[in-house]
């Protein structure tokens, strides 16, 4: 008896997701193994995205037709292009700036999470939220204390960790999908 086309499609998509998960896992470990290279790569990608955005803003400024809003868009677009060129010309400097932004983000997010946790204190899970906030604040302080040296590894290391978590999620979904398709292929048409 032949397999239902839907089951075959689920198996194929699950296989693709498993393959991408394995590739993402390898890339995550490579990023952790060489956090400086991974961090510089992230800085270059951010620089490219800023450049595209800045050029788009400048293009919009000329299309706006209005001198007031068009001038503001042109100024913001020009500043974005300048920042992008600086990041692309000096990606290590860009990596330091990204680390500063990450420090500020972790510190502010941590303070906010602690505040919210104590606001919802009787609710289940408030302790985990407070713990997460404390960890974020500590990470921000650690990065600050070791900055600018922390900029050489922090972004790449965190990017690698993020890739590993993403890979685990992809593998879990892929294997679950394959298991569901295998169990469904026994039940379809019987």
pLDDT digits (tens, 9 = 90+) for 67-78: 666 777 788 888
Q: How far apart are CA 32 and CA 100, in angstroms?
A: 20
The pLDDT value recorded for residue 190 is: 46
Mean pLDDT value of segment 120-147: 82
Measured between its terminal Cα atoms, the distance across the chain in Å is 10
Q: How far apart are CA 18 and CA 31, in angstroms?
A: 20
Mean pLDDT value of segment 150-161: 79
Torsion of CA 114, 116, 121, 126, to 10 degrees: -70
Residue 66 has pLDDT above 60, yes or no: no
23 pLDDT band, cuts 50/70/90, is: very high
Asked whether the beta carbons of 151 and 99 are under 8 A apart, the reply is yes
pTM: 0.65
H-only helix segments in the chain: 5-33, 35-64, 67-89, 91-119, 126-145, 154-187
Radius of gyration of the chain (CA): 23
Residue 65 has pLDDT above 90, yes or no: no
């Amino acid at each position: 008896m032949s397999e239902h086309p839907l089951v075959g499609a689920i198996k194929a998509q699950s296989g693709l997701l498993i393959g991408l998960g394995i590739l993402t896992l390898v890339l995550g470990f490579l990023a952790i193994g060489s956090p400086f290279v991974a961090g510089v790569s992230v800085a270059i990608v951010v620089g490219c995205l800023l450049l595209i955005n800045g050029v788009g803003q400048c293009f919009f400024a000329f299309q706006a037709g209005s001198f007031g809003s068009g001038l503001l868009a042109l100024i913001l677009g020009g500043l974005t292009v300048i920042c992008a060129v600086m990041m692309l010309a000096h990606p290590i400097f860009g990596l330091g700036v990204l680390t500063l932004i990450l420090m500020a983000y972790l510190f502010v997010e941590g303070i906010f999470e602690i505040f919210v946790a104590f606001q919802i204190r009787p609710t289940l899970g408030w302790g985990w939220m407070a713990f997460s906030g404390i960890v974020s604040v500590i990470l921000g302080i650690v990065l600050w204390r070791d900055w600018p040296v922390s900029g050489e590894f922090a972004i790449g290391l965190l990017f690698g960790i993020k890739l590993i978590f993403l890979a685990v999620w992809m593998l879990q979904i892929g294997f679950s999908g394959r298991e569901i398709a295998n169990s469904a292929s026994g039940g379809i048409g019987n």
